[in-house]
Amino acid sequence: MTDNVLISPNTMEDFDPNSLLGDEATRRIAAAVTQARGYEHVALRAALGRVLAEDIRSQLNVPPYANSAMDGYAVCGDDLTKNSETRLAVSGTAFAGHPFNGTVQRGTCVRIMTGAPMPRGTDTIIMQEHVTREENHIIVGGGHKNGQHVRQAGEDIAAGSIILQRGKRLRPADIGLLASLGIAEAKVHRRVRVAFFSTGDELCSLGKPLREGQIYDSNRYTLFGMLTQLGAEIIDMGTVADNRVAVADAFLEAAACADALITTGGVSVGEADYVREILAELGHVDFWKIAMKPGKPLAFGKIKDTVFFGLPGNPVSAMVTFHQYVRPALLQIMGQTECAPTSVRLRLASRIKKSPGRMEYQRGIMQRDNSGDTVVKTTGAQGSHVLSSMSQANCFIVLPLECGNVEPGVLVEVQPFDNQM
């Protein structure tokens, strides 16, 4: 690799000069990935979690008419005496769905419920708690403001304005917003098609007893979960043996049908690690090592038009590299505008040991301390095979490449999992 940023090896005991810096890896992936072509028009409920493919402009005002924000009385503000009592005759009632149809004469008012249209001739609401009712009259005290407790037409959404932009992943509030405009269908990007398989002769499928030297294949399940949360269309190709022909065949099969292929295992430099070599034979290797921990061996490239991610086999490394590098790329393919993991800064509650030279993603737990502030600590053992640390964690603690040990009280970058992991 020729274009690494130069870092003095003396100060970076853990730095591998053949590895790519994280930011550079992100840039290269973003540059190599293209948005998938193809849209779908789906019913509003089915649009939840999908990425919007067009800007939505409102054809309506929401609310469509001025209406009352309170149960009370609709009055003409100018009828009220500012600093003393006013007596008004009640000339009718307005309910939500059953407007008052006349024009309200000066000196009179209308009993009104929340959501009912403001009757013609009125502009102000007096809460029912603030009046004294006397048969067919009310008595209102001083101190009310003209226009109070009225929701104006277009206050939420003005007709003609853009309320949702293409590239947004639709959340419950968004489909509600579309419904409030009477929109029953949305144009969304097609889902990204992702094929994946595990490599490793030691892997045993669920339902079979473990033989000597075997472990169960967990990566296919974490990948299934993370891809499902992301809204991908999944092609699970199972477990593939550590054998050149089998791995090459699986590569070609995936390249024929998927936007992206993800493998786990076989990307290090062991004798049975064929993934990178076969990627080079059948396609193109962009990079295969990132200065990060866990997850240093991460192969990225292309086989025909299919983007390829060769994740490390260790279960934590596979999840970390997926979250940092694969997920943003898949979102980009799906047309989503916001792709990077979200992060916040929190105070560290326990010491972290680290050598400079690699970006580190430690498994963390965010929680309230005794004074009520949210702080973060590690889950404990941080080995890249310790999948239980991912299960206990609710965030990654992200430590920059150049940093060494971190003491309690220091502000650190934290990426909350938000149900994605």
Q: Show the binding pattern over residues 222-251: x = contacts ligand AMP (CB under 6 A), - = does not.
A: ------------------------------
Three-class SS of residue 296? coil
Does position 264 bind ligand AMP by CB under 6 A? yes
Question: Residue 315 binds which entry of ligand AMP, Mg ion, none, with Cβ cut-offs from 5 to 8 Å by kind?
Answer: ligand AMP
Q: Are residues 199 and 264 in contact, defined by beta-carbon separation less than 8 angstroms?
A: yes
Please say which residue, 154 or 266, places its beta carbon nearer to Mg ion. 266
Least gap, CB of 199 to Mg ion (angstroms): 6
User: Across-strand partners of 398?
Assistant: 361, 413
Q: Show the binding pattern over residues 308-337: x = contacts Mg ion (CB under 5 A), - = does not.
A: -----x------------------------
Does position 268 bind ligand AMP by CB under 6 A? yes
Q: What is the CA radius of gyration of the chain?
A: 30
**Cβ neighbours, 10 Å, residue 26:** 18
Least gap, CB of 410 to Mg ion (angstroms): 37
Give the angle 246-247-251 at the CA atoms, nearest 5°: 120
Q: Which residue stretch of 36-44, 189-197, 261-269, 283-291 sits at the interface with ligand AMP (rule: CB under 6 A)?
A: 261-269
**Cβ neighbours, 10 Å, residue 43:** 9
Q: Which residues contact 32 (CB under 8 A, 6 or more apart)?
A: 286, 300, 302, 307
Q: Which residues inside 147-206 make contact with Mg ion, applying CB under 5 A?
A: 200
Does position 388 bind ligand AMP by CB under 6 A? no
Does position 270 bind ligand AMP by CB under 6 A? yes
Cα gap 293→403, rounded to integer Å: 13
Please say which residue, 386 or 412, places its beta carbon nearer to Mg ion. 386
Cα gap 26→39, rounded to integer Å: 26
Does position 416 bind ligand AMP by CB under 6 A? no
Cα gap 363→391, rounded to integer Å: 9
Least gap, CB of 337 to ligand AMP (angstroms): 33
Q: Which residues inside 257-276 make contact with Mg ion, applying CB under 5 A?
A: 265-266
Q: Where are the alpha helices (DSSP H) in 149-237?
A: 172-180, 219-230
Q: Are residues 33 and 332 in contact, defined by beta-carbon separation less than 8 angstroms?
A: yes
Least gap, CB of 26 to ligand AMP (angstroms): 22
**Residue ranges in contact with ligand AMP by CB under 6 A:** 198, 200, 202-203, 215, 217-219, 264-268, 270, 312-315
Question: Applying CB under 5 A, which residues contact Mg ion?
Answer: 200, 265-266, 313
